């Protein structure tokens, strides 16, 4: 929208969040990352924590997250983002570090780091993007790839006898005592996106209230590596991913539930 057009409007109803840079996303058409980045930026703006927020990027399609956010950011080694965020939070408790990790990063190579950050109840936030595939490397099997699903390293579809079963991260981590808030959301339609934003906001509020580890898993389409059109990818997500990865809150300690009930916040 040009400046001229904006000036002709009485009220700007929709604008770029201050926490989001005017920097083109490098993601493929139909990718869910861009939506989640915007949601995080909106939440950071609404909570007025732009000057305290720190994005700990991981390895994968989100490696250059720090280009898109207009606050401090760094890149961590593959899978190690929760360790990096742990140290930042312990050293500077006033900062609000969050990790942004894909499924390969969090649920495969970084399993130890996320489990132990949760077990310690670190007061950090993790945004976990589950698209059931390795995106940046070109579509290999992820720890979350569905049984029977094609990938470039499961050419006949994922066979449990050869490649085991997908990991349900929220279910697994919610058995631990450390996490305060764990939820799974999706971005396959506008209603789901609104709920995803609420969960992301509650996760950040959990950290702001020093209540412990918060993690939001976001089911997200990857049309390129699923080899379908973007619109088809959304349908595919609903049909195949939702049954395997049911949406909902998996861990909600009482103090977080109380936060959630506060009027006009979440």
Partner 1 sequence: MSKKTLMAGNIAIAEGAILAGCQAYFGYPITPQNEILEHMSKRMPEEGRVFVQTESELAAINMVFGAAAAGCRAMTSTSSPGFSLEQEGISYMSGAELPGVIVNVMRGGPGLGNIGGAQGDYFQATKGGGHGDYRVINLAPASVQEMIDLTMLAFELADKYRNPVVVLPDGFLGQAMEPVVMREPVTELPSKPWAITGAVGRPKNIINSFEMDPVNYRPRVELLLRKFDEIRRNEVRYEGINLDDASLVIVAYGSASRSALTAMNMARQKGLLVGLLRPISLFPFPYQALSNLAQKVVDFLVAELSCGQLIEDVKLAVGLDKRVELVNQYGGVPLLAEEILDAIEKLIKQPAGR
In the complex with partner 1, the residue whose CB is nearer, 54 or 233, is 54
Pick from 84, 141, 146, 203: which binds partner 1 (CB under 8 A)? 84
User: Residue 207, interface with partner 1 (CB under 8 A)?
Assistant: no
Neighbouring CB atoms inside 10 A of 223's CB total 21
- Output the CA torsion sign for 12, 17, 21, 26: negative
Identified binder of partner 1 from the candidate list 16, 90, 159, 227, rule CB under 8 A: 90
Residue pair 183/206 in contact (Cβ under 8 Å)? The answer is no
Segment near partner 1 (CB under 8 A); pick from 70-78, 155-163, 185-193, 257-265: 70-78
Among 46, 72, 171, 232, binds partner 1 (CB under 8 A): 72
Q: Which listed residue (34, 108, 116, 152) binds partner 1 by CB under 8 A?
A: 116
The number of CA neighbours under 13 Å toward the Cβ of 72 is 11
Looking only at the bridges linking them, the beta strands covering 213-219 and 248-252 are unpaired
Q: How far apart are CA 11 and CA 27, in angstroms?
A: 30
Nearest one of 36, 12, 38 to 23, comparing CA atoms: 38
Please say which residue, 119 or 163, places its beta carbon nearer to partner 1.
119
Piece in contact with partner 1 (CB under 8 A), picked from 28-36, 115-123, 150-158, 246-254: 115-123
C-beta atoms surrounding 168 within 10 Å:
18
- Residue 50 burial class via C-beta count within 10 angstroms: exposed 0-12, middle 13-18, buried 19 and up: middle
Q: For residue 178, state whether it binds partner 1 (rule: CB under 8 A).
A: no
Q: Map tokens 């809150």 to a residue.
A: 249
**Contacting partner 1 (CB under 8 A), which of 34, 45, 50, 137?**
50
Asked if 130 and 139 touch (Cβ cutoff 8 Å), the reply is no
Is 42 one of the binding residues for partner 1 (CB under 8 A)?
Answer: no
Q: How far is the CB of 204 from partner 1 (least distance, A)?
A: 15
Q: Is 240 in the site for partner 1 (CB under 8 A)?
A: no
State which residue, 115 or 255, has the beta carbon closest to partner 1: 115
Q: What does the DSSP 8-state code read for residue 146? A: P
CB of 114 to partner 1, least distance (A): 10
Binding site for partner 1 (CB under 8 A): 50-54, 56-57, 63-64, 66, 69-77, 80, 83-88, 90-92, 94-95, 112-113, 115-116, 120
């Amino acid at each position: 929208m040009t400046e001229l057009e904006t000036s002709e409007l009485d009220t700007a109803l929709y604008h770029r969040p201050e926490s989001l840079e005017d920097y083109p996303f490098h993601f493929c058409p139909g990718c869910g990352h861009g939506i989640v980045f915007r949601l995080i930026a909106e939440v950071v703006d609404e909570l007025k924590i732009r000057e305290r927020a720190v994005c700990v990027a991981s390895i994968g399609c989100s490696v250059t997250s720090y280009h898109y956010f207009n606050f401090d950011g760094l890149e961590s080694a593959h899978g190690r983002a929760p360790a990096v965020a742990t140290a930042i939070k312990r050293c500077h408790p006033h900062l609000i570090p969050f990790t942004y990790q894909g499924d390969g990063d969090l649920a495969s190579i970084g399993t130890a780091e996320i489990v132990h950050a949760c077990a310690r109840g670190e007061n950090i936030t993790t945004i976990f993007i589950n698209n059931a595939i390795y995106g940046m490397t070109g579509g290999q099997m992820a720890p979350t790839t569905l049984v029977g699903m094609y990938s470039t390293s499961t050419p006949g579809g994922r066979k449990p006898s050869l490649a085991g079963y997908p990991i349900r991260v929220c279910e697994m981590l919610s058995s631990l005592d450390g996490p305060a808030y764990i939820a799974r959301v999706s971005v396959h339609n506008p209603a789901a996106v609104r709920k995803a934003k609420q969960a992301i906001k509650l996760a950040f509020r959990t950290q702001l209230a020093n209540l412990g580890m918060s993690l939001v898993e976001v089911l997200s389409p990857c049309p390129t590596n699923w080899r379908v059109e973007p619109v088809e990818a959304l349908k595919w997500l609903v049909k195949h991913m939702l049954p395997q990865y049911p949406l909902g809150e998996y861990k909600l300690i009482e103090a977080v539930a109380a936060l959630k009930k506060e009027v006009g916040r979440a």
